[in-house]
Amino acid sequence: MSGTAKTLNVFVTGGASGIGYGIGEYLAKQGHHIVIADINEEAAKQAAKKLNDLGLSAQSVQINVCDAQQVAALPAALSNTPIDILINNAGIQHVSKLEDFPAEKWQMLINVMLVGPALLTQAFLPHMRAQNFGRIINVGSIHSVIASPFKSAYVAAKHGLLGFAKTMALETGDVDVTINTLCPAYVKTPLVEQQIAAQAKENNMSEEDVINKIMLEPMPKKAFIEIDELAQTANFLIGSAAKNITGQTLILDGGWTAR
């Protein structure tokens, strides 16, 4: 195992599919126990079963990360598997110019991707502090550091994660707890597939043009980021070699922000 000799309990939000599932599967293969957390209870169960069927250690939990009472109840509900590693991955997207952006949808994106990670960190931090070990990994985005039109709520939430991580790094400086944010350029997930269709409609162009002229155009490497790259980066952050990496923004963008 990378940097640690013991099995760690890893809580992954939005863990039933996409980036969350990919990170969970990779860390399970390193010998860790994965708690697949998702708002879709059946999907979470199926994802955990898929890992179990591979001979890996996993369980599922249904959670709405925006529900403060539900989140606060998690440590007691998981008393047999106290959480050592928190992966804040749950995310949603809505593409629209601000004038047409439904107010409740804007609020929902902020709640899921910024308030949720804060609530979960608040819930799991006492155990991490008590045992003098914990890792919090936010799955941010290239949109944590740059902006795109028609994504005001998403960009605001993802930018907010960086400020949150920096603050928590200062508050946890006295213990072996770190918090960092992974910021990938576009990853080919169901969420991005939906974005391609939405962007095509909003920009009145073909989906192929959205991929080549909007998504990959700013990247010198012209390639989608692979989930495995994020999983391996997360695994590095868990290990002892990264114990002094905290409050940082790890950008996996194929050179996008080098311009």
Determine whether domain 9-185+226-252 maps to CATH 3.30.300.30: no
Kindly name the residue from 21, 26, 154, 186 that is annotated as catalytic: 154
The segment(s) of the chain belonging to CATH 3.40.50.720 are: 9-185+226-252
- Of 81-90, 106-115, 199-208, where does mean pLDDT reach its minimum? 199-208
| Average pLDDT of every residue of the chain | 95
4 pLDDT more than 60:
no
| Confidence band, pLDDT 50/70/90 cuts, at residue 2 | very low
What is the pTM for the complete model shown? 0.93
Q: Is 154 a catalytic residue?
A: yes
The SS3 call for residue 130 is helix
